[in-house]
Every structure is written in C-alpha cells, then in structure tokens.
Amino acid sequence: MTDVCEVNCEELATGLRALGLRAGHRVIVHSSLSSFGHVAGGAPAVIHALMRVLTARGTLLMPSFNHGAPWQEGGTGYYDPAETPTSNGTIPETFRKMPGVRRSLNPTHPVAAWGYGAARYTRSHHLTLTMGPESPLGRLWRDGGYGLFLGTDYHTNTFKHVVETTLGSPCLGRRTRELTVRLPDGRRVGLRTWSFRNERCPIMDPNRHAEREMEQRALHARRRIGRSTVTLFRLSDCFNALGRMLAEGRAGHPPCHRCPIRPSRYPQTVESDWDDERCCLKPESPSLRLGLMDFRRPA
C-alpha cells in the first residue's frame, strides 16, 4: 500500500498561521512543491494559501531567476519578463504567470511580487545592485520583512547575497555584466546584472553554517505541513547572523574582506557603472535613460 500524504489550501493556510505568518507580513518565499507530498490543487493552492494568510495588506515576493540560461547554448539571447521561465521551481514559475503579479527587469535575477506596494519592490531593480540594499530583497529587509522556506533550507536563501553585497564582499561584481532585455514595449536594451563569484564561498555557500547560526540563536520558527518542513525568520535577524559570520570567518576560513575569491568573467563582462561612494548609478550610465519600469501581468 502506498503511503500518500495530501494537503489542501486550507490546511496549508492553517499551518502557515501556526508557524507565525500573519496578515500584512512582507515575505520572500523559497519553495519545493514536492516536499509537501501531494498538494490538492498543486502549485496554485500553495500560492493561494500564502495570499489568503498575507491578505492584500501583505506582500509576497518570489525569486523568478533564470541564472543566465537565455545566454547559454540554445537560449533566446535575451530576457523577457513576460516570457522567460524561472529556474526556481514549479511554485515560482506558476506565481510569475498569475494575474496582477509584477516582475522586475534584472536580466538574470528578476523578482516577482504581489500585494501591497509590489511595484515599489520591482520597478527599480534594473537601476541598482542585483542584491543590494535597494534591490527587491534589500528593500524587503529594510521594511522589516521575513524569509519563508517551504521545504527548502538555507542553501536556497537568496537573502545571503544581500548581506554580502551590502557589506561589500569582493567576490560579487557590482553591475559588471551587460545583457539584452526585451522590454514590455518590445524594445531591446542592454541592462546590467552582477558577476557571480568564480568559486564557492567557504562561509556562505555551505548551508550548515547559516543553519547552525540561526538554530543556535533561536532565530527561526519551524513546523511540519504535510511532509514539508517549513521555516520562518526575520530578514533582520538573518542579516545580523550572516554578517557576523562574514566579519569573523568560519571553520578555519578567513573573514570575507580577506578572501581571495573574485567575480567571474563572462563574454559580456563590462566596467561597472555603479558609484560606490554615492551608492547610485554613475551619471553616464545608459540605464538612467530608461527610468522606473517593471512588467505586470494583466489582472
């Protein structure tokens, strides 16, 4: 006999409330649909459960990253916020295509958003650092937001890159890769993203260090929903914990500022158009001509 575990939208919402998620919260969600067992209604049921708990007063963000797939062999050669699929799983892919959901224009790491102030999180992503303080996740952190893992763990925690970027980690290029984006009006323009590190970070990439830090300091809440382990935490707590790890080093590895790992080089690598002293685009950056812009699915 097969051991079948099934959960529905109402049970998901009940479990999320028991975890501590509330109406009006602002949250970035990383997810694994298969972790629940069988979900009646599939990915849409998970998303509707989140929306039901958060209500329209809350804000729901999900990664809708392509990780550079359009520029690999056989790719389209451009990012289109209306068409380019995510590589973050079934739930984010379903979410980005839902009515009223917005998507930012960062070429490789766009974020999808729904709810209160969604446009504020997405419309300037192409004008700032990919994971900087003014990026969607950076703004969420500064707004007192939360991180939520649905069947995933700290390995998928994109927010760690906000910590790295904000603290000036030398392994992440600051708008040093220019890629083609097809805008909602059909124009094609070159927009900037980061250059990711050329080696695995010995402090941040092994999820066990972050997991242990958050667990030992009792900085997250956990429970089971169906077969899935779900985790909720404040981004501010995560920033402080991970920032401490970078500043002190871990497991015999030096602090971040002494690490020799540097950004990768790509065929599209360019000189940065970011002014670190003023924390803004340089006046000559072509991106400034574009202004605020994102993509929104018709309601």
Rg of the chain, C-alpha, whole Å:
19
Whole-number pLDDT of residue 2: 46
| Residue 79 near residue 108 (C-beta atoms within 8 A) | yes
CA distance 40 to 233: 27
Task: Give the total number of structural domains in the chain.
Answer: 1
Q: Give domain status of residue 161, yes or no.
A: yes
Whole-number pLDDT of residue 5: 80
Element counts in the chain: helices (H) and strands (E): 8, 14
Whole-number pLDDT of residue 4: 63
What is the extent of the structural domain holding 240? 6-167+200-257
Phi, psi of 146 (to 5 degrees): -125, 160
Nearest to 7 by CA among 49, 43, 47, 36: 36
Q: Give domain status of residue 263, yes or no.
A: no
Q: Give domain status of residue 101, yes or no.
A: yes
Whole-number pLDDT of residue 1: 38
Residues of the chain with pLDDT under 50: 1-2
Cα–Cα distances in angstroms (integers) from residue 275 to residues 29, 75, 115, 278, 282, in the given order: 31, 32, 32, 6, 5
Q: Give domain status of residue 292, yes or no.
A: no
CA distance 131 to 194: 8
Q: What is the pTM of this model?
A: 0.95
Structure tokens at 55: 């209500």
Whole-number pLDDT of residue 209: 87
Q: Give domain status of residue 160, yes or no.
A: yes
Q: Give domain status of residue 16, yes or no.
A: yes
Q: Give domain status of residue 178, yes or no.
A: no
**Chain mean pLDDT for the chain:** 96
Q: Give domain status of residue 152, yes or no.
A: yes
